[in-house]
Structure formats: structure tokens, C-alpha cells
Amino acid sequence: MTEMREPTFLVLTALVDGPRHGYGIIREVAALSDGRVKLLPGTLYAALDRLVAQGLVEHVRDEVADGRMRRYYRLTSAGLQVLTAEIARLRQLAGAAESRLRALNPRHA
């Protein structure tokens, strides 16, 4: 897998601490991004279908709450590995940018 889009990164991150249903993922992504990323249900479920097909996320159970079906997903070990690699890639890029900023103006880094 190459560079990851931010919503995908946030969906995987939202699942690190355990299974969540769709609306829970939407809320967690909004919280992680300080409200910048607002996933619509259709967009989320298309992303989840893709992540399941890639083996990064798996469907774990369904439950009915308040008369509505909730589908729960969790991060797989492959998903954790891909997320970890993406974090390392982003750290490396941020480090390179910080080094250049420090070289340009040491007071601002």
C-alpha cells in the first residue's frame, strides 16, 4: 500500500482501540480531526467495504439498537501493520520538513 488518504488513516485510527459501529466511527473520525473530516454514511461504508476487501478491517458483528441495525468493524493485524507503516511515513516527512524549517530559521522550529 502506498500513501494513504486522510479519511482512510482516520478510519483505521478510530478502530485501534476496539470495534465500532458506523456512526461511532463517524463520530471518532470527527473527534480525531477536530471536526475537519466529516464522513457521510455512504462514504464511510464504501471505505469500509474497500478496507474489508483489502483485509485491513473486518466485520465482527451486527446488533439492533433502538430499532436500527448496527454493524461493527475492527482493525485486523494487517490493518494495524499498514497504519503503523503510514505513521512512520508521516513522521519521516514531518521530520524532513522540520529540519528544513530549522535550517531556514532556527528560532521558528
Is 1 contained in some domain?
no
State the total domains in the chain.
1
> Distances in Å between the alpha carbon of 32 and those of 15, 17, 60, 86?
12, 13, 23, 16
pLDDT tens for the chain, 109 residues: list them: 568 999 999 999 999 999 999 999 999 999 999 999 999 999 999 999 999 999 999 999 999 988 888 999 999 999 999 999 999 999 999 999 888 888 888 776 5
Is 47 contained in some domain?
yes
Which residues span the domain enclosing 84?
6-108
Is 71 contained in some domain?
yes
- pTM, two decimal places: 0.88
In this structure, the dihedral spanned by the alpha carbons of residues 71, 75, 76 and 81, taken in order and rounded to 10 degrees, is: 160
CA pair distance 66, 12, nearest whole angstrom: 26
Amino acid identity for residue 38 in this structure: K
Residue 25's CB is within 10 A of a number of other CB atoms, namely 24
Is 84 contained in some domain?
yes
